[in-house]
Amino acid sequence: MRIATWNLNSVTARLPRLLEWLSAASPDVLCVQELKCSSDMFPVAEVSALGYEVAAYGTGRWNGVGVLSRVGLDEVRRGLPGEPGYLPEGAMFEVNEPRAIGVSCAGVRLWSVYVPNGRYVGHPHYDYKLRFLEALRDTVAAERDHGRAFAVLGDFNIAPADDDVWDISAFAESTHVTEPERSALADLRAAGLADVYPRALKYDVPFTYWDYRAGAFPKNMGMRIDLAYGDPRFTGAVSDSYVDREARKGKGASDHAPLVIDLDL
């Protein structure tokens, strides 16, 4: 079984690349993030033509998550239980951003997540990020030990260790590397999950994200922020895992590359 996760940075803008990649990589399940479209605008017909069912959760031009599966799509839940809302600046009411969707595929329970960026330390979005991660931890604790493999995959917007960014000195006091964010990942591990670390291929660290600016990708000035956290049933079945850097190359690419995991289940 091949399971992958990919921040598309707009499914509409990336649709030709997505369809090409699905045909070439042939994942059984693909978790996607940053759809930047509403659920009813997801290109279901184009993806279905390749044999995939779709569960999408999006409300507009920002955020959005989904799962594409050719091995079944059951027990769909949009949003984490107890998930916090976010109060945008100048707004009177909190909004529920579409950042998590849970599904069951061929006996494996999966969550596709797009963890809030946090913007900068001290910003209300940073506090929202930490509260979202608390809700994710609670979901893991409630769901992971039900006799089936369990994993959370997606764009966590957190680099687990200093080596997971191209130059830690460039991230002093910025989000993605702070102690509270990394402690939240430690809480997921304490809840029974482990980081599925991809094999490095050509590079020492398998980054998954490179900024569009300043030639970051050819210089390999990247970050490993697209992660897969699985329980022992999931991690024990992993036979291979890698970052598909080829998907980041060329015109019209997302600024993220897919993380691909093969399992013997």
Which tens digits make up the pLDDT trace of 130-179? 999 999 999 999 999 989 999 999 999 999 999 999 999 998 879 999 99
Binding positions for Mg(2+) are: 7, 34, 155, 157, 255-256
Binding positions are: 7, 34, 155, 157, 255-256
Q: Is the pLDDT of residue 201 over 80?
A: no
pLDDT at 204: 76
Percent of the chain predicted with pLDDT > 70: 98
Q: Is the pLDDT of residue 196 over 90?
A: yes
Per the prediction, the chain carries an average pLDDT of 95
Nearest CA to 39 out of 88, 94, 98, 81 is that of: 98
- Residue 20's φ and ψ, nearest 5 degrees, are -65, -40
Q: Is the pLDDT of residue 84 over 80?
A: yes
Residues assigned a catalytic role: 114, 155, 256
143: left (phi over 0), alpha (psi -120 to 50) or beta: alpha
Q: What is the DSSP string of the chain?
A: -EEEEEE-S-TTTTHHHHHHHHHHH--SEEEEE---SBGGGS-HHHHHTTT-EEEEE-BSSS--EEEEESS--EEEEES-TTPPPB--TT-SS-B----EEEEEETTEEEEEEE-----STTSHHHHHHHHHHHHHHHHHHHHTTSSS-EEEEEE-S--SSGGGBS-GGGGTT-TTS-HHHHHHHHHHHHTT-EE-PPB-TTSSS---EE-SSTTTTTTT-EE--EEEEE-HHHHTTEEEEEE-GGGGSSTT--SB--EEEEE--
Task: Classify domain 2-263 by CATH number.
Answer: 3.60.10.10
**Would the pTM count as exceeding 0.85?**
yes
152 close to 187: Cβ distance less than 8 angstroms: no
Q: What is the number of alpha carbons within 13 Å of residue 160 lying toward its C-beta?
A: 19
pLDDT at 36: 98
Dihedral sign from CA coordinates of 53, 58, 61, 62: negative
| R_g of the chain, CA atoms, integer Å | 17
Domain ranges of the chain: 2-263
Confidence of residue 200 (pLDDT cuts 50, 70, 90): low
Q: Is the pLDDT of residue 187 over 80?
A: yes
pLDDT at 64: 98
